[in-house]
Amino acid sequence: MKVLLATYDNDSYTCWFPQGLAAVAAVLRGEGHEITIWDQDIHHYPDWHLTRLLDETKFDVIGISLIAGYWQYKKLLDLSKAIADSKNRPKHYIIGGYGPTPEPEFFLKKTQADIVVMGEGEDTARELFKALENEESISKISGIAYREEDHITINQPRGLIEADQLDNLDRVPMPAYDLFDMSVYRLYHTKNCHKTDFTIPMLSGRGCTFKCNFCYRMDTGFRPRSTEAILHEVEYLQDTFDISYLMFSDDLLMVSRKRTMELAEGFIKYQEKTGKKFKWNCNGRLNFCTPDILKTMERAGCVFINYGIEAYDDVALKTMQKALTTKVIKRGIEETLKTNMSPGLNFIWGNIGETKETLQKAVDFLLKYDDHSQLRTIRPVTPYPGSPLYHHAINTGLLDKDNPAEDFYKKHVNSDLVCSNFTDLTDQEMHEALRDANKQLIDNYFKHQLGRFNYQTDKLYMEKDVSFRGYRQGSNTGGVEKITITDEEQKLKYDRQSQMEKNRSELIQAEHVPEKIIRKPDSFHSTGHGF
């Protein structure tokens, strides 16, 4: 079958590689399906560009994967309309990911998609697409929900891929990196990343052993990949795309002392044996931040550990089921700061029973321990669908019990604004408290940046620092006049681009010119974990 997989525009100049979509693409390609990527996130195509593509090219299936969030939900609705507007709509419109999985019926109704893939997508996609290709019934396929006109059926969940099968390249193939324009995706910049680093996210395992009340999880427990399988993928990324910085996007890489040491020591041995150095970051756990583990991670190339602290109050931490104490948090952060690795200090506020006092404790902690490697602010807690906090909001009347998903996406209009209020404060009082708290953090951060610029100025003029490249180096505010382009002008632009692509294709066919000669330099793009 001809399959179109679409990414949505995240409204950013640097783009996060769509790992889930790439994983499914690899599986489907292995099954013989023809895969094409429509990458709105990179190219910032207007939505009508998708409609036109579908009008001009016949596809059997279109698939979109997304997480839960106000921006993602809005984009999905916009793209769903673009799909519906096509005179050549694919027979099957499939969505998946963390967003639709806990509320498949709601998403099927809102998007008019035909099928939702719930949970991990690799095995479900393999079975589902085989049935669709052969025009067989999908009523017995686990891990999906589907719509037949106005009737919606939710099949039984699918079991998780076993831990000892995650590193099986036939069972769970490597993401189809080659189908995406890696020359753009590798430009994503993150913490303690040099300007010349090429980065990419990847997984060392799936799942998490903890049960925080605000977190929705598609799986339970932790299933690690083998160190050998991880390093096989690392070597491929280094050799093929010159990747020098890996962002491990696992829910939690530091799930235990044993696992963390095993992985770090494996990285050290690989780098010593091959001479192929790389930097990396991960999501960490303060329970395991002992000096020996941290020093080993540092030797292995780790430069940043992202910690989900969430609160600096023992009562609040217990309510969240964080399995942390303020004593453990303080000790772990202080040990991390003794290394050359930066700690990510993440806080949320507004969980059950929290007060202005718990918010100020978080602010005081950040002011004391922040190393200024990133601007850190505090957001209100959000009861994402499927999480324990979501069900608490339903049970306490904070979300409509008859239409909780509808109510959630109506109220969740911005991640920095209150969606459901679990405190004794009014929404206005919460927003005022967050404003005051974040102004303290913002003032502190930019005071530090001002100090850096002043130090740089002294060094430039008093020490004649020839390495200085200019104050505006890297700035995107260089006085460029904002130009508004009409839809009609955009359409003319894309018409011209389409004609250029057509001419290019005809040139290749007529003169048998190798494509790699015509492609722009340094382009790895070729068309062609859940959905």
Kindly report the three-state secondary structure assignment for every residue of 288-316.
HCCHHHHHHHHHCCEEEEEEEEECCCHHH
Mean pLDDT in residue range 219-223: 85
Mean pLDDT in residue range 249-258: 94
pLDDT digit string, tens, across residues 139-193: 999 999 999 988 999 999 999 999 889 988 889 999 999 999 999 999 999 988 9
pLDDT of residue 229: 96
Identify whether residues 516 and 395 lie together within a single domain: no
442 three-state secondary structure: helix
pLDDT of residue 530: 58
Residue 366: how many other CB atoms lie within 10 Å: 22
Is the residue at 469 inside a domain?
no
Mean pLDDT in residue range 53-68: 97
Is the residue at 468 inside a domain?
no
Q: Which CATH number characterizes residue 340's domain?
A: 3.80.30.20
Is the residue at 72 inside a domain?
yes
* pLDDT at position 390 over 70: yes
Length of the chain: 531
Mean pLDDT in residue range 49-60: 98
Report which DSSP code applies to 337. Answer: H
Identify whether residues 87 and 148 lie together within a single domain: yes
pLDDT of residue 447: 94
Q: Which of 412, 427, 462 is the last residue of a domain?
A: 462
End-to-end Cα distance, the chain: 17
Identify whether residues 215 and 120 lie together within a single domain: no
Identify whether residues 251 and 400 lie together within a single domain: yes
Is the residue at 67 inside a domain?
yes
* pLDDT at position 39 over 70: yes
Give the contacts of 147 (CB within 8 A, at least 6 positions apart). 108, 109, 112, 113, 114, 115
Mean pLDDT in residue range 348-357: 98
Mean pLDDT in residue range 2-21: 95
Is the residue at 144 inside a domain?
yes
Q: Which CATH number characterizes residue 52's domain?
A: 3.40.50.280
* pLDDT at position 3 over 80: yes
pLDDT digit string, tens, across residues 473-487: 544 333 333 334 455
Mean pLDDT in residue range 492-500: 52
pLDDT of residue 221: 86
222 three-state secondary structure: strand
pLDDT of residue 170: 86
Give the contacts of 3 (CB within 8 A, at least 6 positions apart). 28, 33, 34, 35, 36, 59, 60, 61, 62, 63, 129
pLDDT of residue 372: 86
* pLDDT at position 27 over 70: yes
Is the residue at 239 inside a domain?
yes
Token pair in block for residue 398: 């904070």
pLDDT digit string, tens, across residues 106-153: 999 999 999 999 999 999 999 999 999 999 999 999 999 999 988 999
* Kind of pairing between the strands at 245-248 and 221-224: unpaired
pLDDT of residue 163: 87
* pLDDT at position 374 over 90: no
Give the contacts of 514 (CB within 8 A, at least 6 positions apart). none
SS3 content of the chain, % helix, strand, coil (to 5): 45, 15, 45
In the chain, % of residues over pLDDT 70: 89
Residue 503: how many other CB atoms lie within 10 Å: 10
Contact 100, 147 (CB under 8 A): no
Is the residue at 37 inside a domain?
yes
Q: Tell me the C-alpha distance between 299 and 296, whole Å.
A: 5
Identify whether residues 336 and 438 lie together within a single domain: yes
Identify whether residues 210 and 329 lie together within a single domain: yes
Identify whether residues 158 and 43 lie together within a single domain: yes
Indicate the pTM of the whole model.
Answer: 0.87
Identify whether residues 173 and 211 lie together within a single domain: no
What's the pLDDT band for 249 if we cut at 50, 70, 90?
Answer: very high
3-state secondary structure 108-166: HHHHCCCEEECCCCHHHHHHHHHHHHCCCCCCCCCCEEEEECCEEEECCCCCCCCHHHC
3-state secondary structure 59-94: CCEEEEECCCCHHHHHHHHHHHHHHHCCCCCCCEEE
Identify whether residues 202 and 175 lie together within a single domain: no
In the chain, % of residues over pLDDT 90: 82
Identify whether residues 519 and 430 lie together within a single domain: no
pLDDT of residue 272: 98
pLDDT of residue 497: 52
Is the residue at 441 inside a domain?
yes
pLDDT of residue 169: 84
Identify whether residues 222 and 81 lie together within a single domain: no
Mean pLDDT in residue range 281-289: 96
Identify whether residues 439 and 507 lie together within a single domain: no
Mean pLDDT in residue range 410-437: 97
Token pair in block for residue 512: 């048998």
- Residue span of the structural domain in which 390 resides: 186-462
Mean pLDDT in residue range 14-42: 97
Domain total in the chain: 2
Mean pLDDT value across the chain: 90
Token pair in block for residue 365: 């902690």
* pLDDT at position 529 over 70: no
